[in-house]
Amino acid sequence: MKLSIELSATQAERLRQEAERLGLSPEELARAVVADILTAPDEDFQKAAADVVRKFEELYRRLA
């Protein structure tokens, strides 16, 4: 799929700078960012995972 987006001059410059810093083209960086967002776990999963971690932290604290 080909996608075209419009960025402000400030956003375009920031994208160019970050891409250069990472050794990527602006297009490669934009593609990677979109891919990361689309493959990230949804908000409900992240909340559930955080709850589990919090409960384990409490358990480990009690066992210590």
Element (DSSP H or E) covering residue 42: none
Inside any domain, residue 2? no
Q: Which domain holds residue 24?
A: 9-63
Inside any domain, residue 18? yes
Inside any domain, residue 1? no
Inside any domain, residue 23? yes
Q: Rounded CA gap, 40 and 48, in Å? A: 14
Task: Please check whether residue 15 is in contact with residue 7, taking contact to mean a CB–CB distance below 8 angstroms.
Answer: yes
| pTM assigned to the model | 0.63
Q: Rounded CA gap, 5 and 63, in Å? A: 53
C-alpha separations of 9 from 2, 12, 19, 38, 55 in Å? 22, 5, 15, 25, 46
The average pLDDT across 20-42 equals: 91
Average pLDDT, the chain: 89
Inside any domain, residue 4? no
pLDDT in tens, 51-62: 888 888 877 788
Q: How many structural domains are present in the chain?
A: 1
Inside any domain, residue 50? yes
